[in-house]
Structure 1
Amino acid sequence: MDASAVIIALGLLIFSAYLFNGLFSYTRIPNVLLLLLAGILFGPVTGWVEPADFGQVGPIFTSITLVLILFESGTKLQLSEVARSMGSATLLTVFHFLVTAAVAGGIAYGLAHVPPIGAAFFGCIVGGTSSAIVIPIVNQLGMDARGGAILLLESALSDVLCLVTGLSLLSAMEEGVFHLGPVLLGILRSFLIALVAGIVLGLIWSVVIKWIRRMQTPLFSNLAMVLLLYGAVEKLGFNGGIAVLGFGITLGNAHLLGKTSMGKWFASQELLLGEREFFAELAFIIQTYFFVYVGIHMQFAGWTPYLTALLIVVLILVMRPFIVRMLVRGKMPLKDLDTMAFMAPKGLVPAILASLPLQRGLAQGKPIQDLTYAMIFISILVCTLLIAFVQRHPFSVAGLKRKAKEEESKEVKW
């Protein structure tokens, strides 16, 4: 494909994304699915674009997409909402991860005949929800602040779980030995150090940015700082996504310090509004290309991985509503509870980790990669269609209607 055709395609994709957003009010289908299908059309179906065409730019592009989505979402979260949602989000993350890892790993071992450690690796890398997929859907649906915060935090926390457990099990696949203690310590260390780094730098930057604004418009200086933070934290071996989310939440809530004696040092909320709008538009454009990019990378090696993935996704979505019913606390509409019950798409983290066993020459690498790509596609397809349905027709699942009615009369404190 020549350069002029690529430029035309990039322009058409942006117009298509705005069109899909307009159609959303009628179809309730998030544009994530439509852009993913466009990528499949451009890549696997027609062969117009090959994954190899992206070269080394592809992985960098996916990281930048994740950085922008997490930062932009973090700046919109209110600190009080984060505090109220963290308990439910943490429990939901852990229980959903354990259930999904057990179901996916068990089926990979029993039906796909993946060896035990390889099956455990597969189960763990698909055990979470994808922040790169969840956050744009939540934003487009316009969910209640509490429900949206829980899903955002769940997706960010589960990225840490999937990365640390996945990399630990990858080492076990190579060495034949697995130690649980270092894995748990690695999860805790990766989360806490990254979060502290993001919060501390967010406080420092909220002071610095106030002085930068007096000299020039600092829109791209924010972007530069976010990229530096993500890269530095990742380079040190911790989770850059959590650091960026913590940075965004801190920067978005730094104006609250205006009520203290240190208030004169920190940027006001009003000064951040223009920057939020800029990042929202930038994130919208980048994630448009990202979902098409994911579609281009889909692999269709046969029906078996997709049928196996469909079975796994169905079992997960049968159990997730009960987990939501049991663990989520707080007042929210039935429509949001239904959405939360079916929000389990896979995305960036499993796509990256699934390629590692094959790159390292492990025998089970090919079936793990095929099954993971099938899981990504099937989970996004099924989850977005179910969410589109419940947006129009909220219904009782796992007692969620009863829960919603109970919460109408009282707010449950976690």
Structure 2
Amino acid sequence: MDTLAIFLVISVVLFFGFLAEYIFKKTSVPDVLLLIVLGLLLGQYGLDLVHPTDVAVAAPVFITFTLLFLLYDGAFKIDLASFTREFGASLKVTWFNFLLATGVISAALLLFGIGWKVALLVGFALGGISSAFTIPMLKQLNVSKKMHSILTLESAFTDVMCIVFALTMMDLIQAGTFSAQAIAGTIVSLFAVAGFIGVIGGVIWVFILTKILGKNIMNMITIAFLLVVYVVTEYLGGNGAIAGLFFGIVLKNSLQLHALLRQAMGVKEKQPRIHEKQKVGISVTTENEEEFYNEIAFFMKTLFFVYIGILLDFSDPFAVIIGATCAVLIMFIRPASNIITPELSEGDRTLMASMFARGIAGAAIMQIAVQRGIPQAGFLTAIVLVFVLFTILFSSTRLFFYRKKYLGKES
């Protein structure tokens, strides 16, 4: 594509993104579905303006930044109290859903005649819900802080788990070696390093903002520091996207963290440092800055789901059948998480059962599989993309009815 064509496509995509979001607010028809349809129309099943090869060079960087920024932006909806309170519940839900989904998908692929190593690879790649779908959808649905924290953390953690487990399976397929201890150690290392650097990076940046730079700075400089946090975390063996999540949580809750730190050090305050209504999550960032982040998140989300539509390939009927079948299975097993969350209300359990769409992690892993020459990588990619499409379709449909039933009066 030439430069003018690229600018025209981006312009059309962004205008359509705003239109899709407006339609969602008015009709409850999820905007992500409309964005995928636009991708199909721009790609080989419509106007044939954009081919996967046209975006192949920029795709790895684009996908990585999208995942990082959506997690960072999602952190601004997590207050400190709900984070600490729901962290344990989120881990419980995360492991339960991830292991169950991985097992079901792998078993289904085995029944379709796919080898166990490749089946497990795909199972791991698709075991977790998509942060690119979950976080924007939670913001649009305006759910409780409790559910926002649980589902945001689940989507963030499972994105990492999908990548770690799937890459380990690629090593097994290529080298023929396997170590459960190595997998466990890798996961612990990724989360520990990411959490530590994300928190320390957040503390350092709050100090720089308040003591050196002041508040009258460009918002982009914080994004620049976010990228530094990502690079340092990845270099030290952690997961940069998770570090971005913790970095955002520290920025969002900086005043309360400062008050708690002074209290722990025995410093007495004449006036409380926490908001007079004792609400958690007062940020050093301004409302305008958070709105700026929302705009970038909207831009990345819009391009990502259009990109998914461009990548979709229905030329292999067998891949379509496998992907659609696995999506149906995931839709039916997702409510099983209600077993371990009896304390949730009916509405919250319905929301959790409805949030099972896949996205960034699966697409990214399959690109790596192609690059590394994994057997049947092209066929597996077709399965994964069809699976992503149908899980988004099914999850969006369930969320449509959830919104009508539980948020109808608010809408």
TM-score using structure 1 length: 0.88
Residue of structure 1 in register with 2:173 after alignment: 173
1:323-342 matched pairs, under 5 angstroms: 323=337, 325-328=338-341, 330=343, 332=345, 334-342=346-354
Give the distance between the partners of 2:395 and 2:143, measured in 1 at CA. 16
Measure how far apart 1:335 and its partner are: 3.7
Give the distance between the partners of 2:378 and 2:20, measured in 1 at CA. 35
Residue of structure 2 in register with 1:21 after alignment: 21
Residue of structure 1 in register with 2:64 after alignment: 63
Flag the 1:295–1:189 CA change in 2: closer, same or farther, 3 A. same
Measure how far apart 1:190 and its partner are: 0.7
1:225-304 matched pairs, under 5 angstroms: 225-259=225-259, 260-261=261-262, 269=283, 271-304=285-318
Residue of structure 1 in register with 2:278 after alignment: none
Equivalent pair of 1:30/1:140 in contact (CA under 8 Å): no
Equivalent pair of 1:125/1:166 in contact (CA under 8 Å): yes
Equivalent pair of 2:251/2:283 in contact (CA under 8 Å): no
Count of aligned positions = 392
1:269 aligned counterpart, secondary structure: coil
TM-score using structure 2 length: 0.89
Residue of structure 2 in register with 1:351 after alignment: 363
CA offsets per residue over residues 299-324 of structure 1, 9 Å max, x none?
Answer: 2232222222222222222121121x
- The residue identity in structure 2 corresponding to 1:306 is V
Measure how far apart 1:329 and its partner are: 5.8
Unaligned runs of 5+ in 2: 275-280
1:386 aligned onto 2:398:
yes
Give the distance between the partners of 2:237 and 2:368, measured in 1 at CA. 17
Give the distance between the partners of 2:238 and 2:208, measured in 1 at CA. 25
Bigger shift: 147-156 or 175-184? 175-184
Flag the 1:369–1:252 CA change in 2: closer, same or farther, 3 A. same
Measure how far apart 1:256 and its partner are: 0.6
Equivalent pair of 2:251/2:285 in contact (CA under 8 Å): no
Bigger shift: 239-248 or 294-303? 294-303
Give the distance between the partners of 1:173 and 1:128, measured in 2 at CA. 21
Equivalent pair of 2:252/2:282 in contact (CA under 8 Å): no
Measure how far apart 1:269 and its partner are: 2.7
CA offsets per residue over residues 77-109 of structure 1, 9 Å max, x none?
Answer: 101101121122111111111111111111111
1:45 aligned onto 2:58:
no
- The residue identity in structure 1 corresponding to 2:67 is L
Measure how far apart 1:76 and its partner are: 2.5
Q: 1:374 aligns with which of 377, 386, 391?
A: 386
Residue of structure 2 in register with 1:363 after alignment: 375
Give the distance between the partners of 1:235 and 1:291, measured in 2 at CA. 29
2:252 aligned counterpart, secondary structure: helix
Residue of structure 2 in register with 1:319 after alignment: 333
RMSD across aligned positions (CA): 2.4
Bigger shift: 211-220 or 379-388? 211-220
1:44 aligned counterpart, secondary structure: coil
1:31 aligned onto 2:31:
yes
CA offsets per residue over residues 130-188 of structure 1, 9 Å max, x none?
Answer: 11121111111111111111110000111121111111111100122221110011111
Residue of structure 1 in register with 2:156 after alignment: 156
- The residue identity in structure 1 corresponding to 2:54 is D
2:286 aligned counterpart, secondary structure: helix
Bigger shift: 281-290 or 264-273? 264-273
Measure how far apart 1:339 and its partner are: 2.1
Flag the 1:215–1:143 CA change in 2: closer, same or farther, 3 A. closer
CA offsets per residue over residues 226-257 of structure 1, 9 Å max, x none?
Answer: 11211232233321111000100011111113
Identity over the aligned pairs, expressed in percent?
29
Measure how far apart 1:215 and its partner are: 7.5
- The residue identity in structure 2 corresponding to 1:348 is I
Give the distance between the partners of 2:42 and 2:253, measured in 1 at CA. 41
- The residue identity in structure 1 corresponding to 2:94 is T
Measure how far apart 1:337 and its partner are: 2.6
Equivalent pair of 1:212/1:218 in contact (CA under 8 Å): no
2:356 aligned counterpart, secondary structure: coil
Flag the 1:268–1:152 CA change in 2: closer, same or farther, 3 A. closer
CA offsets per residue over residues 185-211 of structure 1, 9 Å max, x none?
Answer: 111111111111101111111111123
Give the distance between the partners of 1:218 and 1:212, measured in 2 at CA. 14
2:10 aligned counterpart, secondary structure: helix
CA offsets per residue over residues 108-139 of structure 1, 9 Å max, x none?
Answer: 1111x221111111111100111112111111
Give the distance between the partners of 2:340 and 2:215, measured in 1 at CA. 49
Equivalent pair of 2:28/2:400 in contact (CA under 8 Å): yes
Give the distance between the partners of 1:315 and 1:269, measured in 2 at CA. 41
Give the distance between the partners of 1:319 and 1:71, measured in 2 at CA. 29
Equivalent pair of 2:251/2:284 in contact (CA under 8 Å): no
2:128 aligned counterpart, secondary structure: coil
Equivalent pair of 1:88/1:327 in contact (CA under 8 Å): no
Equivalent pair of 1:209/1:218 in contact (CA under 8 Å): no
Flag the 1:245–1:271 CA change in 2: closer, same or farther, 3 A. closer
Give the distance between the partners of 1:102 and 1:37, measured in 2 at CA. 30
Give the distance between the partners of 1:362 and 1:63, measured in 2 at CA. 21
